[in-house]
Amino acid sequence: MRAVERDGESGVVDLVEPVVTHDCSRCEMSIASALGWAPFDHPAVVSFFHERGVDVRETPIWRFSALQVDRSRLPQRDPPRAVVTFTDDDEDVTLTTDGSLDVIAVDGD
């Protein structure tokens, strides 16, 4: 996980967003994605949606706002902590990850 600082000169607003970088061991290319993708298959997320009749494997990804870059935050940098909230109607579940993207806390249900 890394924080991407964007400045006004690049045409993007000033803010810091947690972004996950995936490195390919075969071709050495990298791709970045929103933090929400890292814990998307975590049991707390899958069960949260399952209890509400939503199958995360069958639902279009645009239905999950937590998969957008601006839906996560970095409340702490040392040690790194990132927070992402998944929402369905008026209910939500929030996951906190460490710098290795391991889920260290789950709040809500």
pLDDT digits (tens, 9 = 90+) for 66-108: 888 778 888 888 888 889 999 998 999 999 999 888 999 999 8
59 Cβ contact list (under 8 Å, min separation 6)? 49
- At residue 12, does pLDDT exceed 50? no
- How far is Cα 2 from Cα 50, in angstroms, rounded to an integer? 30
pLDDT at 16: 59
pLDDT digits (tens, 9 = 90+) for 39-58: 999 999 999 999 999 999 99
- How far is Cα 23 from Cα 86, in angstroms, rounded to an integer? 25
pLDDT at 109: 61
pLDDT at 91: 94
